[in-house]
Chain A
Amino acid sequence: MSDLLTLAQSGYPAPIAGVTLAHYLFVSAAMFVLGLIGFLTRRNLIIMFLCTELMFQAAGIALVAFGRYHLNFHGQTFVIFILTVAAAEAAMALALVVLLFRRKESLNAEAWQDLKG
């Protein structure tokens, strides 16, 4: 097992030269942070929703990378599930955004500030 691991992590099937797990994780983290910043700074509900999608996919990249790193398909299986859920969730979220827009004639998240404790 450890031989196999060493083999995989050393490049079989041949990895892109010089690209390690850390690179994938860096991309994933960068995407996640971009999504987070977008979510925190923008007020448009649709943009905010897209930012959550971005964070979602960043997590997906990390999963696939780890799956490859461990030489199994768990990560990829999970990502398939996540994509399905994300698709369903995107349909529902967009429908909600449409409803919210109809109520306030605005996509601004601050229009809903009266939902406070």
Chain B
Amino acid sequence: MLSQEHITGHAATAIDEGGMLTMLVPALTILAVVLCGLFAAMRVKNKAPAFVTVALLAASFVAVLMTYLNLGVEKTWIAHGFDWINFSWSGSENRKLTTHALIANFSFYLDGLTILWMLFVTGLGTLIALYASEYMSHDVGAGYCRFFAAFSLFVFSMACLVMADNFLLLYLGWEGVGLCSYLLIGYFYKKPSAVAAAKKAFIVNRIGDLFLALGIMLIYTHFGSLEYTTVFAQTETYIEALKEGNLEVIPATVQLIPLLLMGGAFGKSAQLPLYVWLPDAMEGPTPVSALIHAATMVTAGVFLVARTYPLFLLSEHALPAVAWIGALTAFFSATIGMAQFDIKRIMAYSTVSQLGYMFCGLGVLTSVGGAFHVFTHAFFKAMLFLACGAVMHGFAGQLDLRKLSGVGFMRGWKVTTVAMLVGCLNLAGFPIITSGYWSKDMILGEAFANPHTQAIGWILLLTAGLTAYYTFRVFFRVFVGPVQYEMGDEHHGAHEDAHGHGEATHAPAHATHATPHAPGWAINTVLAVLAISAFAIIPFTYSHGGWVHTMIEGSTARYEGAAAYLGHGEHAHGTFLGFEAHGALMVVSGIVGAIGIVIAWWLHYAGRTTAATSRADALLPKLGPIPRWAQHKWYVDEFYDFLIVRPLWVLSNIFHFIDQYIVDGIVDLFGAAPSLTGKAVRPSQSGELHSYAAWMAGGMAVLILIVILVAT
């Protein structure tokens, strides 16, 4: 069925002006930033910043929803905010007068893709801000304002990124989310590891951003415009040529653009080889991990590929590269995730892995599947992070799954446990009842349905099994089993007096860390809403993407039935071991997921009596050094350290030496010259009047002697 649609394709979408309501989103979020700044200036010591942020983000969500309900997604709407950059100049090329223009307006490009992304960005933003109002309560005061200001600024930047109608505004948003990510990872700036993680995230992202910037420059030089409408109008003609099998008409420059954009996408979305920053980014507060490093910002790379999908279709190598790197990342990070003990890190590697899935979806030509997985993943991964965050919050920063057990059987942890279970089922792809199953299945099915991507399909299928295992490893270790726990050592900042928990059992400040405290209403509400919505989105989405499909088919991410790498527009049918791919995968992926869950159950739940040990411990030595290597993340960080960081460090030391001793030395020499001269001639100032007179007389005598000798 899908293949049929691939061949028919879709006509270019009509473009119209409208959707000014969406201008409220940047306005409201910036207002939230300003208000949080004012609260900080007024030294507000309550939760006002949180509730202002929640209210304004909710209003943004309503604005997006209203726009969607009013305008629909059949047409693409351009909401013109204001003229931002508008240069024009003329020059001559080949003796012909040409006029150039650089136009980038603060305008929004509203198609299904934009609306889909904005719905979950603002929706989840609202929920997670509500969650954070409780989670960050230890820091009420300046830190609280700083957190919510950066949080709102993030949503603002994300809105610019997603809704931009030109590449420059997209780039602005792209850098903006990077900045907010940096600010929020380094939120606990007194902790060296958090600062290091923030810097790492920022620097690794710079590498990707360089590629994005180059890609955008190349787009401008080739297409002469940065506006989507102009660029995509030109790609239409190339796509028409592709449909007729004329691969040659596409210039090499155009084929290079998607590869550069891909570099940018892989930096932001933490794919090989630039994924290393995301696991470290878990140093940030958990709501940040949930919103930025799981649900929204890291999907910006996927968004970029989806947004510029017409460009990717034009290159022979771009989409296969996207798919392969996505698949390898998915598998690689899943193996690391299996061996970690820090539950937040496990979720981080899982995010990297699932982002790999999304890229695969785009790479194997099911942009609907990719977007669909982004959408479902945003919900269940945010939920998983928030549930882990609730545990971390309640157990004073304890994240080690060997030190926590049976949390679900303790008082007040029911909602968290149920949410965690729902999230785990979704991530593991439990059949039929989870949205994660449907989205993952769509990518898997399409990978097998294409004979060019069978190998990717197998990698993804294996990864699905690993995912189910490591997901339920967390669940079986931490949330069920014998009740046993060890508190973490996190003292919530220096604001002991401002400790915001109203529970009676927490009388002295330090005693609060001795006993776990169950999450309060804000965390529970958010978890419940997310758990319900993880189910509620199934009817919208099951069977080939459903609602998501309608969102994507009118957008730039639609698949046009011609991709350069298939060659001459052919789309042969692949199968899964001789069965029809989509149907077979529905069964097989379900079975693989279930096997993963059962293995996790057997290794980490059945017969387990303590938190620290499980049946898996007996098995591990038999695997030799592999588990240890996986636990050390395959030594990738060490490898990068050796290959890049060390040489750069040495180089910078050399430059530092040159600067300090040679460049500064020369400058200092000029400064030192008068002083040295002074030091040398100072003894002549003996203070004896007679010696001065003698010198003077002697000098005169010498002078006269010279005059006499010269004159005669």
Contact = CB atoms under 8 A, between A and B. Distances in A.
A40 B690 contact: yes
Nearest to A115: B687
Contact of A109 (B681, B684, B686, B690): B690
Contacts of B687: 112-117
A43 to B, nearest CB: 8
Interface in A31-71: 36, 39-40, 43, 48
A35 B681 CA distance: 29
B689 interface: yes
A110 interface: yes
Interface in B676-712: 681-690, 693-694, 697
B683 A117 contact: yes
Given A110-B688, A112-B687, A117 B693 contact: no
B610 to A, nearest CB: 83
A110 B686 CA distance: 11
A112 B689 contact: yes
Nearest to B694: A40
Interface in A66-117: 109-110, 112-117
A113 B686 contact: yes
Given A117-B682, A117-B683, A36 B688 contact: no
Contacts of B690: 40, 43, 109
Contacts of B685: 116-117
Interface string B658-683: 00000000000000000000000111
A36 B687 CA distance: 19
B65 to A, nearest CB: 85
B404 to A, nearest CB: 77
A22 to B, nearest CB: 16
A117 B680 CA distance: 11
Nearest to B684: A117
A117 B683 CA distance: 7
A109 B683 contact: no
A116 to B, nearest CB: 3
A114 B697 CA distance: 22
A115 B685 CA distance: 8
Nearest to B689: A109
A93 to B, nearest CB: 13
A109 B690 CA distance: 8
B683 A113 contact: no
B62 to A, nearest CB: 82
A117 B688 CA distance: 11
A89 B694 CA distance: 22
A42 to B, nearest CB: 9
A114 B682 CA distance: 13
B679 to A, nearest CB: 10
A12 B693 CA distance: 42
Nearest to A110: B688
B684 A113 contact: no
Contacts of A115: 687
Given A110-B688, A112-B687, A40 B693 contact: yes
A115 B683 CA distance: 12
Contacts of B694: 40
A111 B554 CA distance: 103
A39 B686 contact: no
A100 to B, nearest CB: 11
A109 B686 CA distance: 13
Nearest to A113: B687
A75 to B, nearest CB: 21
Contacts of A43: 690
Which of B685, B690, B694, B697 is packed against the most chain A CB atoms within 10 Å? Answer: B690
A30 to B, nearest CB: 16
Contact of B693 (A39, A110, A113): A39
A108 to B, nearest CB: 10
Contact of A40 (B683, B684, B697): B697
Contacts of A116: 685-688
Interface in A8-46: 36, 39-40, 43
B86 to A, nearest CB: 68
A91 B690 CA distance: 23
A34 to B, nearest CB: 13
Contacts of B688: 109-110, 113, 116
Contacts of A112: 687, 689
A117 B685 CA distance: 5
A32 B681 CA distance: 30
A109 B692 CA distance: 12
Contacts of A40: 690, 693-694, 697
Which of A43, A113, A114 is packed against the most chain B CB atoms within 10 Å? Answer: A113
B582 to A, nearest CB: 97
B697 A36 contact: yes
A80 B681 CA distance: 40
A109 B688 CA distance: 8
Nearest to A48: B689
Contacts of A39: 693
Contacts of A48: 689
Nearest to B697: A36
B117 to A, nearest CB: 77
A39 B685 CA distance: 18
B506 to A, nearest CB: 74
9 contacts: A39-B693, A40-B690, A40-B694, A43-B690, A109-B690, A112-B689, A114-B687, A116-B687, A117-B685
Nearest 5 A/B pairs, CB to CB: A117-B685, A116-B687, A117-B682, A113-B687, A109-B689
Given A48-B689, A109-B689, A113-B686, 6 more contacts: A110-B688, A110-B689, A113-B687, A113-B688, A114-B687, A116-B688
Interface of A: 36, 39-40, 43, 48, 109-110, 112-117
Interface of B: 681-690, 693-694, 697
